[in-house]
């Protein structure tokens, strides 16, 4: 596990974009797992000019998004598909056929649909680099507390915490979906490398629990402790409750000397 502690949210976005851009340059056909949410916006904002002015080519990149609200069609303004289109896909050159986002408008055969999403990931060769945010309750994707550590893509009922947190994206009085389709923890853990971004004090307890707490389904991000190649990029506020900050700094310094390719 590597942890980069940054001074502010802008630096978190910049560092994440640097890692994604390096992954694309190293392997132009890289398969990215993508996430939505405010925290990821800084990263997308940094990647766009790298494409537009710095020849970062996404033409062979494939993407798989983590999750989507159930009941929202692709063109719904609050759908994650719409979020991705607005904030990233419309401004880079990923071919539409290479873009995969769970379809929130399906109305039956959920299990079959979710199995086919898993199959699409497998057929593409698996995810090379998975981007994650984190919920205040420690969720990754929409894997709410008590999700099975071995879970696969499926329907999840959203917790009250999550629907309240995501209310900010909806108009006052607008109904918030109660369910979502999300990659499972088991699906996420199969990615070769994982990058988790967090900013702001509201994420501090979740970050401390995920990294320094016990491995527990009550904080699904703690399942990342099982993964061999996870990098957390957090700002001062999100990292404020971590007890071993000095150690993480030293690990990063030594990694830069001994195995710089990991960074
Ligand atoms: C949603 C998404 C998560 C994301 C989380 C945090 O619940 N399903 O993938 O990590 O929001 O969002 P934000 O970055 O807006 O705090």
Are the C-beta atoms of residues 184 and 154 closer than 8 Å to each other?
Answer: yes
Are the C-beta atoms of residues 231 and 191 closer than 8 Å to each other?
Answer: no
Based on the residue annotation, tell me whether 229 is a catalytic residue of this protein. no
Nearest CA to ligand 1 atom 10: 133
Whole-number pLDDT of residue 168: 85
Whole-number pLDDT of residue 169: 85
Whole-number pLDDT of residue 196: 98
Residue with tokens 């609050």: 78
Are the C-beta atoms of residues 242 and 211 closer than 8 Å to each other?
Answer: yes
Whole-number pLDDT of residue 166: 87
Nearest CA to ligand 1 atom 4: 133
Nearest CA to ligand 1 atom 5: 135
Distance 41 CA to ligand 1 centre (A): 11
Where the chain has pLDDT below 50, the residues are none
Q: Torsion angle of alpha carbons 99, 127, 59, 52, nearest 10°?
A: 90
Dihedral sign (CA 3, 9, 15, 20): positive
Distance 259 CA to ligand 1 centre (A): 31
CA-nearest of 211, 226, 205 to 149 is 226
Whole-number pLDDT of residue 207: 99
Residue 143 sits in which domain range? 2-262
DSSP-derived pairing of the beta strands 179-182 and 99-100: unpaired
* Ligand 1 pocket, residue 67 CB under 6 Å: yes
Distance 132 CA to ligand 1 centre (A): 8
Are the C-beta atoms of residues 235 and 11 closer than 8 Å to each other?
Answer: yes
Beta strands in the chain (DSSP E): 2-6, 31-34, 62-65, 67-69, 99-100, 129-132, 154-157, 179-182, 193-198, 230-235
Q: Domain count of the chain?
A: 1
Question: For the whole prediction, is pTM greater than 0.85?
Answer: yes
Beta-sheet strand order (sheet of 67-69): 67-69, 179-182, 154-157
Task: Supply the CATH number for residue 33's domain.
Answer: 3.40.50.1360
CA-nearest of 11, 16, 6 to 240 is 6
Distance CA 154, CA 139 (A): 15
* Overall residue count recorded for the chain in this entry: 263
Beta-sheet strand order (sheet of 129-132): 2-6, 230-235, 193-198, 129-132, 31-34, 62-65, 99-100
């Amino acid at each position: 596990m590597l942890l980069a502690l940054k001074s502010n949210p802008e630096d978190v976005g910049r560092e994440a974009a640097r890692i994604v851009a390096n992954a694309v340059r190293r392997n132009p056909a890289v398969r990215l797992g993508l996430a939505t949410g405010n925290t990821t916006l800084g990263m997308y904002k940094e990647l766009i000019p790298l494409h537009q002015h710095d020849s970062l080519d996404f033409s062979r990149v494939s993407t798989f998004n983590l999750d989507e609200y159930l009941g929202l069609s692709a063109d719904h303004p609050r759908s994650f598909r719409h979020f991705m289109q607005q904030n990233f896909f419309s401004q880079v050159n990923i071919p539409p056929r290479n873009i995969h986002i769970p379809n929130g408008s399906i109305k039956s055969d959920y299990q079959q649909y979710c199995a086919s999403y898993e199959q699409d990931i497998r057929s593409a060769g698996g995810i090379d680099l998975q981007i994650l945010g984190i919920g205040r309750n420690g969720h990754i994707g929409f894997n709410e507390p008590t999700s099975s550590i071995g879970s696969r893509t499926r329907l999840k009922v959203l917790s009250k915490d999550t629907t309240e947190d995501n209310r900010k994206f909806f108009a006052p009085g607008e109904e918030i979906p109660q369910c979502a389709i999300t990659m499972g923890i088991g699906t996420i853990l199969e990615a070769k490398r994982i990058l988790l971004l967090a900013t702001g004090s509201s994420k501090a307890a979740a970050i401390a629990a995920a990294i320094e707490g016990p491995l527990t389904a009550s904080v699904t991000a703690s399942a990342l402790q099982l993964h061999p190649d996870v990098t957390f990029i957090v700002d001062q506020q999100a990292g404020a409750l971590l007890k071993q900050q000095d150690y993480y700094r030293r690990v990063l310094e030594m990694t830069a000397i001994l195995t710089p390719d990991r960074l």
